[in-house]
Amino acid sequence: MKETLLIGLGFLLVGLVAADMVTTTLTVDGGGILTNWLSNGVWRLMLKLHRGRRKHRWLTMTGWFLLVSIAVLWLVVTWLGWTLVFSASLNAVVNASNDLPANVWERIYFTGYTLSTLGQGDYQPEGTLWQIGTAIASANGFFLVTLAIAYLLPVVGAAIEKRSLSVYLAALGKTADEIILRAWNGKNFGQFDQHLIALAPMLSRMGESHLAYPILHYFHSGDRLRSLPLSLCALDEALTLMQYGIAPDARPDPAALKAARRASAAFLRTLKGVYLKPSSDVPPFPSLDRIRDRGIPTVSDAELQTAIDNLDRRRSLLVALLYADGWTWEDISTTPTDGWKSVADRYAWDNADGSETPHPHDNIPE
């Protein structure tokens, strides 16, 4: 009875890890049970610490910590599972020199040595059944290492691509109205259509990366220029204003605008991979005052209000995205003036468009 229980429990753990690895690494439907459990638990803990101090350091480290921790979790649970299997029988593993049964620690050593595909070492399986089990464990270890490496490297590349996209979006503007004001050339939106055409496939590709690697949602940057949730939410709000707030004859090309909005919506749908639901808070009504002050034709506030009433779910999901990444709606709804990590950070933001505004350090009194 004990032997059957240990073997059953061991294979259950091994099968659980195998299913989690296949789901996480070879599908595009999100992470497995173990991966999601670890990622969500650690991220929620880090968010609580962040909200108490409003410092981004811990959140910035979390994504890389999780990337390593997931691989370690797969190894440890698999190791435990096979150790239970090889502990089911007293004579399953014996000392290679004197044929004495291995103790618990020696079985743990034997299992780790087998999973690492280094061979059998000082201990060996006793009997045909356990020899077959050892061969299966060795193959399991080979696939575990291979899939882990095949998962880790693309995630690193996707994380770098995520930061690059964030910088590109941030260069367009840090708030919705600023994106619109920068795109307006005094008569129309000029070449902004080209940005929208380029952004549609970039956002789609990033959305697919987040589906394939849900851990990307936990790669946080405290640098506003490199924070995708901030830049994406500002862009989405800007696209909404262009679609519904700007007068029809002054809007960017409809095909390019709608393509970019659909790509942004597709990215938001990837949030189900981290079980993120729309917030109960609806963002405040966007103001068109700054846009009108520049002479950009707009619809009336009443028309805009009617149009965006149907977008409450979408905009609430934007709020949830910001909140789940350690930010608030105020970080994109108004021009940021404080909370910068450093003077250099503020300078980099203000000069993202290549302007020659003097660096604040240049005028520090001696």
**Span 311-354, pLDDT tens digits:** 988 999 999 999 999 998 988 876 544 433 433 344 444 444 44
Identify the pLDDT of residue 211. Answer: 84
70-79, 282-291, 294-303: segment of lowest average pLDDT: 282-291
Identify the pLDDT of residue 335. Answer: 52
Amino acid identity, position 40: N
Confidence category of residue 121, pLDDT binned at 50, 70, 90: low
Q: How far apart are CA 286 and CA 331, in angstroms?
A: 14
- Residue 283 corresponds to which tokens in the numbers above? 């963002």
Rounded alpha-carbon distances, angstroms, from residue 354 to 41, 243, 252, 262, 322: 41, 28, 24, 30, 27
Of 262, 135, 157, 251, the closest CA to residue 207 belongs to: 262
Round the average pLDDT of the chain to a whole number and report it: 85
Rounded alpha-carbon distances, angstroms, from residue 303 to 251, 295, 307, 339: 15, 18, 6, 35
Domain residue extents for the chain = 2-149, 157-351
Q: How far apart are CA 79 and CA 14, in angstroms?
A: 8
Q: How far apart are CA 108 and CA 83, in angstroms?
A: 6
Amino acid identity, position 325: D
Identify the pLDDT of residue 184. Answer: 94
Distance of CA 116 to the CA centre of its chain: 30
Q: How far apart are CA 193 and CA 293, in angstroms?
A: 23
Residue 55 confidence (pLDDT) above 90 = no
Identify the pLDDT of residue 348. Answer: 45
Identify the pLDDT of residue 204. Answer: 93
Contact 90, 59 (CB under 8 A): no
Q: Which residues contact 116 (CB under 8 A, 6 or more apart)?
A: 141, 145
* Percentage above 90 pLDDT, the chain: 52
